[in-house]
């Protein structure tokens, strides 16, 4: 099958295309207004004002204070700063997380474990939704941090964060009476910003990590919301930027664009979710009709509106991805950060899939520029290519 003239992008969980309006907002800071926001020159003052405006914009968006917003280089740094920054304020302690977290959460926790901190990764059932009771059962008197993602990046399942937050608040009242140190709750919300509300008080979290590349903003821009009073040890030290919590000259263009993209996503999340649910349902129904044996991974109700994680028995998912790319359809097979490895997805393994099933799994994720026509045409090309595979591998 030859390269199609029109391309269709169904890998928004990896990165979402930059919105034209966001590029326009960034452009002055990539050209004439290039100043360092720490400088007292005219250009520095302009850059500082833009930085302050972006911080204020996100504070309003999250129902937070401006000093609770820390700018970083992306989701990975935001999760590292939250996890390492909070736990390192104590010489020892225990961290609880889940088996389906992004590697940007699991790896810093594994690193801290090698440094002597205790860690527990709670198993997750086949639904892909961790039980809040299982998280609470894993807590110990010396537990200092719980890190549970809001929405999974591979299978799109939503985790019971509100229930956990209520339980943590209750436990902290009891801990205070017993003279124990407080417990802090962090969430990786990188996949959620376009589809779920992120009001900090309503979520009940102490720290929240985001990046803008998932919502039509630039890569290289991340945010850490850190509730006032939450202790933090910086992991990057130097010039004292971000109130001494994250050193390094701020990427003003990316911050301006990222803040605008996140604000836009949060303004339109309800309408966008409704639109994408309809498109995802259309996509799934047509694929299920045409492809015998197709299985959807993860809970069908408690999931992101844009995510379809599908196992197609007997199919080589990596080969399908490459052929579909030639056909003009971009899809995913799991976490983009680990796509260069041949190991099956740790998320799919964690919810009980065999290695063979995991390697036969694709991820279709829709986004802000996905249209009904895109879905109709993508279905045709995907079905055609899968049938081609099955005919040539009998």
Q: Note whether 97 and 121 are within 8 A (CB).
A: yes
Q: How far apart are CA 12 and CA 214, in angstroms?
A: 7
Catalytic residue chosen out of the listed positions 337, 338, 380, 381: 337
H/E stretch holding 329: strand 329-330
Q: How far apart are CA 370 and CA 355, in angstroms?
A: 31
Residue 303 corresponds to which tokens in the numbers above? 């999931």
H/E stretch holding 72: strand 69-72
Residue 91 corresponds to which tokens in the numbers above? 């010489």
- Does the annotation mark 190 as catalytic? no
Q: Sheet containing 222-226: which strands, arranged edge to edge?
A: 69-72, 222-226, 207-211, 184-188, 143-147, 94-98, 118-122
DSSP-derived 3-state class of residue 143: strand
Q: How far apart are CA 36 and CA 100, in angstroms?
A: 39
Beta bridge partners of 71: 223
Residues acting as catalytic residues:
337
């Amino acid at each position: 099958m030859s390269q199609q003239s029109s391309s269709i992008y169904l890998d928004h969980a990896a990165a979402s295309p930059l919105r034209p309006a966001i590029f326009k907002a960034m452009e002055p800071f990539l050209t004439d207004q290039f100043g360092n926001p720490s400088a007292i020159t005219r250009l520095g003052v302009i850059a500082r004002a833009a930085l302050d405006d972006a911080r204020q914009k996100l504070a309003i968006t999250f129902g937070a204070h401006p000093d609770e917003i820390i700018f970083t280089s992306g989701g990975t740094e935001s999760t590292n700063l939250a996890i390492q920054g909070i736990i390192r304020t104590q010489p020892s302690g225990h961290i609880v997380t889940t088996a389906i977290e992004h590697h940007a959460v699991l790896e810093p926790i594994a690193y801290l474990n090698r440094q002597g901190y205790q860690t527990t990764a709670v198993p997750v059932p086949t639904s892909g939704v961790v039980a809040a009771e299982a998280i609470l059962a894993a807590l110990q008197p010396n537990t200092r941090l719980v890190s549970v993602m809001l929405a999974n990046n591979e299978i799109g399942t939503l985790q019971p964060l509100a229930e956990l937050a209520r339980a943590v608040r209750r436990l902290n009242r009891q801990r205070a009476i017993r003279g124990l140190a407080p417990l802090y709750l962090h969430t990786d919300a990188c996949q959620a910003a376009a589809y779920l509300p992120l009001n900090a008080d309503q979520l009940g979290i102490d720290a929240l990590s985001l990046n803008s590349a998932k919502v039509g903003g630039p890569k290289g821009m991340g945010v850490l919301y850190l509730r006032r009073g939450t202790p933090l040890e910086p992991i990057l030290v130097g010039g004292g930027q971000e109130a001494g919590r994250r050193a390094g000259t701020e990427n003003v263009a990316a911050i301006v664009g990222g803040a605008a993209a996140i604000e836009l996503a949060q303004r339109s999340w309800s309408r966008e979710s409704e639109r994408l649910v309809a498109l995802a349902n259309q996509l799934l129904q047509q694929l299920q009709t045409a492809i015998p044996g197709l299985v959807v991974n993860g809970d069908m109700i408690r999931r992101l509106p844009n995510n379809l994680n599908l196992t197609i028995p007997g199919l080589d998912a990596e080969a399908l991805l490459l052929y579909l790319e030639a056909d003009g359809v971009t899809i995913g097979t799991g976490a983009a950060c680990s796509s260069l490895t041949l190991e099956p997805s740790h998320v799919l393994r964690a919810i009980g899939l065999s290695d063979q099933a995991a390697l036969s799994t694709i991820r279709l994720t829709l986004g802000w520029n996905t249209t009904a026509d895109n879905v109709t045409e993508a279905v045709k090309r995907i079905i055609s290519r899968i049938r081609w595979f099955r005919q040539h591998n009998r």
